[in-house]
Amino acid sequence: MWLAVEGALEQGLLYSLVALGVYVTFKILQFPDLTVDGSFPLGAAVSARLIISGWDPFAAIAVSTLAGAGAGFLTGILHTRLRISALLSGILGMTALYSVNLRVMGRPNIALLRERTCLVVLGELGLPDWLGPMLFFMLILVVVYALLSWFWKTLLGLSLRATGDNEQMVLSYGTNPDVTKLVGLSLSNALVGMAGGLVAQYQGFSDISMGVGTIVVGLASVIIGEGIFGEKTVNHAMVSVMGGAVLYRFVIAAGLRMGLPSTDLKLITAVLVVAALATPRFRSLFRVASRTS
């Protein structure tokens, strides 16, 4: 039982980075970016390739983050320079990254079970197997949250937020919305690439198909988090989507624990998203009923 709880919490912390990345594009930029299905395995592929090449595992995560940012930047170029629609730009980026990921790995998958990953380093520090990864992932989330909280208060961060609300208003104030879109897409996919690099080291392998459904997981986390925990401010929304990612993983773990086949996970995800979307409606109906009673 404890192993299931531990695994769900650790995976929830890791996929919180994906949820934050999806939140940046879908909620702040209002940009339906599907690149994450390619940038997630790209981060994993880069991390795995560098580790088997003798790189420091923490440096490998940093490069995975940069690789993810590059993937988002290229999608942004397709949209802002070539004027390809947002949805199609993401699809093209995701499709191209499949071949790129294969090139990076050189084969469909790379095993890291005998390599020196971040978890191995944490074990060398004397931390228990159950505590080390959890503390490490929490530390990363705290740092990312602090940096994002600071970024949203800067002029560029405010411009990025305004771009999603009213692009013409941003343009009237002398800010190029194409630049803010490039920054937002790069930032989003940098977070997703970092998550991919961490997940590869956590699982002990990188696989070409590990990005399938990443966008669904990210969107589910965002919708569940905001539907249950609310989104009064940007900082509140970020905490909510991280909570949604953890809650999503716990529900999935509970479903598997009860004997549900893994083939039903997509159905569980759909039910969770519908429930989260319907929560505000149920709340309003409950308030109306309580007032009239």
* DSSP of 150-168: HHTTSHHHHHHHHHHH-HH
Give the CATH number, domain containing residue 94.
1.10.3470
pLDDT at position 241 is 95
pLDDT in tens, 71-115: 999 999 999 999 999 999 999 999 999 999 999 999 999 999 889
Residue 248 has pLDDT above 80, yes or no: yes
Residue 293 confidence class, pLDDT cut points 50, 70, 90: low
The parent domain of residue 40 ranges over 2-292
Residue 174, H or E segment: none
Reported residue count of the chain is 293
Cα separation, 69 vs 64, whole angstroms? 9
Can you give the pLDDT at residue 262? 75
Q: Across the chain, what does the average pLDDT equal?
A: 90
Residue 61: its pLDDT value, please? 97
- The DSSP 8-state label assigned to residue 115 in this structure reads S
Q: Could you read off the pLDDT of 25-56 as tens digits, one per residue?
A: 999 999 999 999 999 999 999 999 999 999 99
DSSP element (H, E) containing 175? none
pLDDT tens profile 142-184: 999 999 999 999 999 999 999 988 888 888 777 889 999 999 9
Domain count of the fold of the chain: 1
Where does 31-81 have alpha helices with state H? 36-52, 57-80
